[in-house]
Amino acid sequence: MKDNQPNDINFNQISTEEKSRLKRKIENSVFAYAQKKRRRKYAIGFAAASIILLFSVGLLFDYSKQDVSPIETFVNASKDVIKTEEVKLILGDAKNIEITEENSAITYSDNGQNVSIGNSKLVNQNVGTSKDVVFNTLIVPYGKRSEIVLADGSKVWLNSGTKLIFPATFLEGNREVYLDGEAIFEVKHNRNQPFIVKSKDQDIEVLGTVFNVSNYKDDDAVLTVLKSGSIKLHYTTDNFMSSQSELKIAPNTLATYHKKAKQIKTTTVEVETYFSWRDGVFIFRNDPLKTIMKKLSRYYDVEITINDNDLANQSFSGYLDVSQDLEHVMQIIKEAESAQFDYKLTSNKKLIIN
């Protein structure tokens, strides 16, 4: 049957009302299409943005996800060590050795199995035959000092209130130790095995050099002083990514990393000021009395209180022979600087300065 309906609409035959309805219908259709297209565009844009955001978060996660070394795993799993009055060496098999002799050097054999303490004592430990690292811990309480020769021949002098965690013997890969406190390192050169001193907030990468690093928990900054050779510092910066930055320093340089601000500054210094304690001498050059007393507090294991802020910030310079007792050292400070203060040393190891 033939369709008699016209194929095209003749607008001249449509009433005004029909034209208005048709116009509204077309406009609604166009508006609906535009809305649909806009929603689709937003959906695609949102999905793309979501993918970018997820990718960025993924990058952030991957960037911050750094491999934890075996020594860091050991440090994180270690319990707080009970306070000791003597230098203590804790072997991997949990054997505790108290070292009561003054200035008894500790020396490891190259395989880590034999440990010499002073000239007369020899201790053996089982380091196993597997590739698992055996870690030892050397604890030096306040009022004491110690020195150690590691299995690779590197020498470390530990100041008062310091803990050093180290492998009994260094296997393949980096030579890594962990420091809490202050120590002087004389690292045996080995280009194929960089020496890494790990500590809270900062790592030091070494090939062969002599340097001092001080990182006590109650200090606001980490101090690293290079005497010879070259070292590279790795530290966390204060930004959104909390990324790792690095800084290579030259000899006679002091790098000060401020823990709260997560910023580092360098300056040229006379390095002997930071190494003299190894020989029983403190050198001060325009240092505030509170800084001097903090060092003496650790060295002599004495609680020191300064009851005057102006005096605490007064600068002092000179050499102190800390092989003498604290009473003698305080007299030197007072006489050399003609300082206007009195002090009292109590029987319970407290020094009060007025």
Grouping H, G, I as helix, E, B as strand and the rest as coil, residue 128 is coil
**The predicted structure's pLDDT at residue 278:** 94
**DSSP string across 45-62:** HHHHHHHHHHHHHHHHHH
User: What are the b/e assignments for 95-108, b being 16+ CB within 10 Å?
Assistant: eebebeeeebbbbb
Q: What angle do CA 184, 248, 198 make, to 5 degrees?
A: 45
**The predicted structure's pLDDT at residue 54:** 27
Q: Which are the contacts of 145, defined by CB distance < 8 A and separation ≥ 6?
A: 103, 157, 158, 159, 160, 277
The C-alpha atoms of residue 49 and residue 46 are separated, in whole angstroms, by 5
**The predicted structure's pLDDT at residue 84:** 83
**The predicted structure's pLDDT at residue 130:** 62
User: What are the b/e assignments for 204-237, b being 16+ CB within 10 Å?
Assistant: bbbbbbbbbbbbbeeeebbbbbbbebebebebbe
**The predicted structure's pLDDT at residue 225:** 98
With 0.85 as the threshold, say if the pTM is over it. no
**The predicted structure's pLDDT at residue 67:** 66
**The predicted structure's pLDDT at residue 216:** 96
**The predicted structure's pLDDT at residue 48:** 39
Per-residue tens of pLDDT for the chain, all 354 residues: 444 444 444 444 445 555 455 445 444 544 444 455 455 544 444 343 333 222 323 322 332 335 678 899 999 888 766 678 899 999 987 789 999 887 779 999 999 999 999 887 899 998 876 678 899 999 999 999 999 999 999 999 999 999 999 999 998 889 999 999 999 999 999 988 999 999 998 999 997 899 999 999 999 999 999 999 999 999 988 765 567 799 999 999 999 999 999 999 999 999 999 999 999 999 998 999 999 999 999 999 999 999 999 989 988 888 999 988 999 999 888 887 666 788 998 888 899 998
H, E, C per residue of 160-229:
CCEEEEEECCCCCCCEEEEEEEEEEEECCCCCCCCEEEEECCEEEEECCCEEEEEECCCCCEEEEEEEEC
**The predicted structure's pLDDT at residue 266:** 97
**The predicted structure's pLDDT at residue 337:** 64
**Residue 267 token pair:** 């300056």
